[in-house]
Chains A and B, each alone.
Chain A
Amino acid sequence: MKPSAAKPASTQDVLKDASMLKQKEMINAHYERLCAAPETGEKVCSTFVPGNLNELIMCFDLVNNLPEVNAIQSGLRRKSGAYIMEAERAGHSEDVCTYVKSDIGMMLKGNIGPTGKPLPKPDVLLLSYTGCFTFLKWFELLREQYKCPTIFLQTPYMADGKITPNMIQYMVKQLKEDVIPTLEEVSGVKFDIDRLREYLAKSARAEDDLVAVLQSAKNKPSPIDAYFGGIYYIGPIFGAFRGTDDAIDYYRFLREEVGERMAKGLGPVTPDGTMEEEKYRLVVEGPPNYTNFRQFWKMFYDEGATVVASSYTKVGGTYDFGFRHDPDRPLESLAEYCLNVYTNRSLPMRIDMLVNYINEYEADGLLINSIKSCNSFSAGQLLIMREVEKRTGKPAAFIETDLVDPRYFSAANVKNRLESYFQMVEQKRSGKGVAA
């Protein structure tokens, strides 16, 4: 199949790349498999996107379920608001993460997934604790409801900007002595390290292509939007497909598609068609808002702003600095993967990454979308903004929204801030000072 832009009837007026359609098919097929688990007898493992050990999960023939992705789907489908309110009525604080509340609210309302069918109860909760404190409590909350085995895997925080032998030993011991034996027990499948090696080798191949796609944004114009479009690109590899042939096929296909766009000098595909003129190149820090995703994106492409690099697309794994899953060091490699996810990196590391992105991708500046729900991302972002500005001399701006809580998306405010920011970039380019 040759890459091409398509306008399918099912998505009406929304233009999508062929790769986006392929991605959607993959995600839908996975949800179908997940929902059918009670009938097929497949067992379900719930886990998180950062620290998602998909290759290991597949070694035990378990189906991967990601509550964050379910919350995102609820956000995109405008259902998360009601779910969050449901969870708050059940006693959950208005102050805490809306992914958690969307997930719990969905559960209270029958756990209906994006395909309209009920999601199955997990057989095991794999609490891969990487870069986000909330995960720890989230699965304690789910464990209370589902009463299923819960496996805990602690990833130490990379506070000093390096991975120490103590960290790796700790994680490998946990994998060997707790995670793997419990997965064997739950699944009834004996662990086969060669099977893991095979999946890891496949992961690395897909990771190569993903990195090539993300780095294509160094081109001018960028053929991709590395934030809004990037969310489509990371879907399979951050989800249930890392380590599969499907992922290899998808990322090869995506890379070809992007290569073709680059050869033609085309900009990114947006829901309203190919972006004609690249006026601004931005680096974005922080997750997006999902309840008004398209409206949010439109505020960028209407102004000719392309995101050329983003931190959010590294939240399920940072591959662009060379890390690849390594079949020769299977467990150590899984440990390094978890350690390297973006939110497990120290604040100085995050600052360095963003500064590098601005320089390497020749961006006009940094935009931070600060998420009310997510302290892991948000605490410290104002200092990040100052430091990046100081070190790059490029303007930075700050907007505030939420992941899946529609109450915290104020379109007028966000639009105003973005417009002011683009003016600031213009002034910087023309050598004038920033207007007071």
Chain B
Amino acid sequence: MTDKSTAEIVARAEALYDDVDFTAAREWKAAGENRHVIGHLPIYVPRELIHAAGMLPLGIMGGGDQLEVIHGDAYYQSYICRIPRSTIELGLSGRLDFVSGMLFPSICDVIRNLSGMWMTLFPDLYVKYFDTPQTYDDEIGGRFYEGEMRELLEGLEGISGRKVTDDDIRASIALYNENRRAIRDLYDYRAARPWQFPAWESYLLMRAGLILPVEEHTRMIRDYIAAAEAEKRPIKDNARVIVTGMFCEQPPLNLIKSLELAGCYVVDDDFTLVARMLTEEVPTTGDPLRNLSHAFLHHSMSTAPKYEPDVETKGRFLVDAVREKGAEGVIFASTSFCDPALLDRPMLQNVLSEAGIPYIAFKYAENSGQMQPIREQAGTFADSIKLWSAA
């Protein structure tokens, strides 16, 4: 049990969020011999494997709205999203000079190509494009995925010089299971009483999980839930919404705050999916790679970068989330030029229309500064939901 207030916990998370030099990860590395930090981009890598290798996974979510991009823009045309250019900026400015490796998961062609750019710009670094399966049969996609994970483990072992055992991985899975349970609790509390657990605070806590060791992050979440439970916060007459499309390039913190200020309780989202991707406990007995593979194939979140094999279930996850979280509408918030989110959006909107669920859509960039149009749009949406529900 903690004696910290929500303000103190959130302040700690916000300090981590603001720090584009990743001081906490640098300090973790400096605190022991042969310690390694492995950076990874959104949306999903099995962090259990990095942890099992005795390393710290570091989620790189671009530079946000605080990083001035000087070099990064010279690497991209105007019609490419912002996250790769600010990530390049982080690399070229030396802010990632302490990482021993970088993983680029399969999200889209931009992040995929960024893996090759990283290999070219940082030829001495361990760089891996991490290909997740888009077919979900254990014997087909599953076997391939296990092979990919084995290759990753070999790469990590090459860095540390230490063999990773199955028991190491099982122990890490147990810790990440605990972390996922804490996060599920946080999201459940938020959906039940969003005035008590504001989305922007929850977001900062999730971001903290991208840099803190998993054990520390789980404690932080549990402390926050306990502290927020103990505080009295006013209930507002807000509309309950789900935001979707923010799985890769992250929204500025002000954007989330603006949605709440505009009259929306954000009761679910797809920020920082890496921590929520696996939706059920991963078994801690048996073959750990097979277990991680099975979890990804059969118990992972639906999101635009993943192929949906069944036309009948396309977009259903959003309708289900609306029902489960008691949401009244959906906000499609996509990064400009984001192929997965923007190509997916019309299909998801059709599913929502058929289900009679209202929605709006807008685009943003991680460095969007002007929130007034978004606030007006979200405010109008919240008002209209209130009007409809009253009718």
Interface residues of A (CB under 8 A from B): 90-93, 95-97, 100, 127, 129, 132-134, 136-138, 140-141, 143-144, 147, 150, 152, 154, 156-157, 159-160, 164, 166-167, 169-170, 173-174, 177-178, 343, 346-351, 370, 372, 375-376, 378-383, 387, 400
Which of B22-30, B303-311, B377-385 contacts its partner? B303-311
Option from B120, B137, B338 in Cβ contact (under 8 Å) with A387: B120
In the complex, the chain A residue whose C-beta lies closest to that of B112 is A157
The answer on a CB contact under 8 Å between A380 and B117 is: yes
Which residues of the partner chain B approach A138 to less than 8 Å between Cβ atoms? Answer: 343
The answer on a CB contact under 8 Å between B347 and A154 is: no
The answer on a CB contact under 8 Å between A379 and B307 is: no
**CB of B175 closer than 8 Å to a CB of A:** no
The answer on a CB contact under 8 Å between B144 and A97 is: no
Which residues of the partner chain B approach A141 to less than 8 Å between Cβ atoms? Answer: 343, 346-347
The answer on a CB contact under 8 Å between B119 and A134 is: no
**CB of B200 closer than 8 Å to a CB of A:** no
**CB of B188 closer than 8 Å to a CB of A:** no
Which of B127-135, B165-173, B271-279 contacts its partner? B127-135
Q: How many residues of B contact A (CB 8 A)?
A: 57
In the complex, the chain B residue whose C-beta lies closest to that of A100 is B343
A96 to B363, CA, bound (A): 13
Contacts A144-B311, A382-B76 hold; do A136 and B346 have CB atoms under 8 A apart?
no
A372 to B116, CA, bound (A): 20
Which residues of the partner chain B approach A174 to less than 8 Å between Cβ atoms? Answer: 135, 140
The answer on a CB contact under 8 Å between A383 and B120 is: yes
**Nearest Cβ in chain A — how far from B101, in angstroms?**
13
The answer on a CB contact under 8 Å between B343 and A147 is: no
Which residues of the partner chain A approach B109 to less than 8 Å between Cβ atoms? Answer: 132-134, 343, 375-376, 379
Option from A166, A351, A370, A382 in Cβ contact (under 8 Å) with B151: A166
**CB of B317 closer than 8 Å to a CB of A:** no
Which residues of the partner chain A approach B139 to less than 8 Å between Cβ atoms? Answer: 173, 177
**CB of B6 closer than 8 Å to a CB of A:** no
**CB of B65 closer than 8 Å to a CB of A:** no
Which residues of the partner chain B approach A92 to less than 8 Å between Cβ atoms? Answer: 342-343, 346
Pairs across A and B, CB under 8 Å, 5 listed: A95-B79, A152-B135, A159-B129, A347-B115, A382-B76
Which residues of the partner chain B approach A152 to less than 8 Å between Cβ atoms? Answer: 134-135, 307, 309
A387 to B342, CA, bound (A): 32
A159 to B105, CA, bound (A): 11
**CB of B121 closer than 8 Å to a CB of A:** yes
- Contacts between chains A and B (CB distance < 8 A), count: 165
Interface residues of B (CB under 8 A from A): 74-77, 79-80, 84, 106, 108-110, 112-117, 119-121, 128-129, 131, 133-135, 137, 139-141, 143-144, 147-148, 151, 304-305, 307-309, 311, 314, 334, 336-340, 342-347, 349-350, 363
Which residues of the partner chain A approach B349 to less than 8 Å between Cβ atoms? Answer: 91
Option from A137, A351, A383 in Cβ contact (under 8 Å) with B344: A137
If over half of B's interface residues share one DSSP class (helix, strand or loop), that class is named, otherwise mixed; here it is helix
The answer on a CB contact under 8 Å between B343 and A134 is: yes
The answer on a CB contact under 8 Å between A140 and B140 is: no
The answer on a CB contact under 8 Å between B129 and A382 is: no
Contacts A136-B307, A348-B120 hold; do A93 and B113 have CB atoms under 8 A apart?
no
The answer on a CB contact under 8 Å between B135 and A178 is: yes
Option from B77, B135, B147, B342 in Cβ contact (under 8 Å) with A93: B342
Option from A97, A136, A167, A346 in Cβ contact (under 8 Å) with B116: A346
The answer on a CB contact under 8 Å between B115 and A346 is: yes
The answer on a CB contact under 8 Å between A372 and B79 is: yes
**Nearest Cβ in chain B — how far from A145, in angstroms?**
10
The answer on a CB contact under 8 Å between A382 and B77 is: yes
A146 to B308, CA, bound (A): 16
The answer on a CB contact under 8 Å between A137 and B339 is: yes
In the complex, the chain A residue whose C-beta lies closest to that of B115 is A159
Which residues of the partner chain B approach A350 to less than 8 Å between Cβ atoms? Answer: 116
Which residues of the partner chain A approach B79 to less than 8 Å between Cβ atoms? Answer: 95, 372, 378
The answer on a CB contact under 8 Å between B113 and A137 is: no
A178 to B137, CA, bound (A): 10
Contacts A348-B119, A348-B120 hold; do A380 and B113 have CB atoms under 8 A apart?
yes
**Nearest Cβ in chain B — how far from A341, in angstroms?**
13
The answer on a CB contact under 8 Å between B134 and A136 is: yes
Which residues of the partner chain A approach B76 to less than 8 Å between Cβ atoms? Answer: 379, 382
Which residues of the partner chain A approach B134 to less than 8 Å between Cβ atoms? Answer: 129, 136, 152, 154
The answer on a CB contact under 8 Å between A156 and B144 is: yes
- Which 9 pairs across A and B sit closest by C-beta, in order of nearness? A347-B116, A159-B129, A166-B147, A137-B343, A170-B144, A93-B342, A380-B113, A376-B109, A379-B113
Option from A134, A143, A150, A382 in Cβ contact (under 8 Å) with B75: A382
Contacts A159-B115, A379-B76 hold; do A147 and B346 have CB atoms under 8 A apart?
no
A140 to B120, CA, bound (A): 34
Which residues of the partner chain B approach A134 to less than 8 Å between Cβ atoms? Answer: 109, 339, 343
The answer on a CB contact under 8 Å between A178 and B121 is: no
Which residues of the partner chain B approach A140 to less than 8 Å between Cβ atoms? Answer: 307-308, 314, 344, 347
The answer on a CB contact under 8 Å between B140 and A137 is: no
**Nearest Cβ in chain A — how far from B75, in angstroms?**
5
**Nearest Cβ in chain B — how far from A103, in angstroms?**
12
A82 to B366, CA, bound (A): 33
Contacts A137-B339, A178-B140 hold; do A144 and B350 have CB atoms under 8 A apart?
yes
The answer on a CB contact under 8 Å between B144 and A380 is: no
Q: A97-B343, A154-B135 are in contact. List 19 more A-B contacts (CB 8 A).
A: A92-B343, A97-B339, A127-B307, A129-B134, A133-B112, A134-B339, A137-B339, A147-B311, A159-B115, A166-B144, A169-B144, A170-B141, A346-B116, A346-B129, A347-B116, A347-B119, A348-B119, A380-B114, A383-B121
In the complex, the chain B residue whose C-beta lies closest to that of A382 is B75
The answer on a CB contact under 8 Å between A159 and B128 is: yes
A24 to B121, CA, bound (A): 44
The answer on a CB contact under 8 Å between B133 and A133 is: no
A387 to B121, CA, bound (A): 10
Which of B77, B108, B133, B345 counts the most chain A CB atoms within 10 A?
Answer: B77
